[in-house]
Amino acid sequence: MYRFFVQPQVDQRRRAVFGYELLLRKEMDGRWAVPQSFTELPLDKQADLLAQLAGQLKTKATNQVLALNLNRQQAEDDLMLGTIIYLKKRLNPAALTIELTESPSLVEIQKYSLFFHQYGIKLSIDDVGTGSNTFENIQHALPFVDQIKFAMQNLRMSGQAERIPREVAFWRDVAQDYHLEFILEGVEDQKDQKMAEQQGIERHQGYYYGKPRLIADDCQFVNGSC
């Protein structure tokens, strides 16, 4: 069984939840876990889950931002794209952001930018500074997106936590240079929060503010209690 979980995104300056990232999870042996591969669930099934989600969220996500991860295969699938547009229309006036998990080519990002922006959907590059998402590899895409996200947990898991302050400052400056929104992921405690504030970063995401969780019937996105 697969379901979408949500994790809050926080505007630290306003001390308020401004959005939620939608995260796909799989139930295994009575617990929910991250799928080994996000392509193991056929795209038509993922589209069905999104359509169900639209019904759940229609009256709950007013004036919030919902962020959805998309890999290259999904971004090229007509059914998935159609479902995303359906989701956006059902959620209006809530905003929708697509987080690209793979570095797109120049031709691809130009196509994605034209397609999504015409529907009022923002584009984000996820996990900048990790894997192939180096500055050199994504620089060509920056003029066509609205946001970048840096995940501190990726450096922690690779045993490079000492690089975090320097890398955070670098990507913060990139966001400023390209006039992009910047979200810092992996904020796990008050120390992380303080570091982010000292670097002038207002948009945070991480366990300090809430772990991913199922969308309950009594979830109220407007006050951040989901």
**Boundaries of every domain in the chain:** 2-220
CA separation for the pair 8, 111 (Å, rounded): 29
Residue range 2-220, CATH number? 3.20.20.450
CB 196 within 8 Å of CB 38: no
pTM of the complete model:
0.89
Torsion angle, alpha carbons of 152, 154, 157, 162, to 10:
-50
Res 218: pLDDT: 45
Rounded CA gap, 226 and 217, in Å? 10
In tens digits, the chain (226 residues) has pLDDT values of: 899 899 999 999 898 999 999 999 999 888 999 888 777 888 788 878 887 776 776 656 667 888 999 999 999 999 889 989 988 888 777 789 999 999 999 999 999 999 999 999 999 999 999 988 999 999 999 999 999 999 999 999 999 999 999 999 999 999 999 999 999 999 999 999 999 999 999 999 999 999 998 876 545 554 455 5
Question: pLDDT value at position 194?
Answer: 96
Listed in sequence order, the DSSP H helices in the chain are 43-57, 72-75, 78-91, 106-117, 135-138, 152-157, 164-177, 190-198
Q: What is the pLDDT, as a whole number, of residue 90?
A: 80
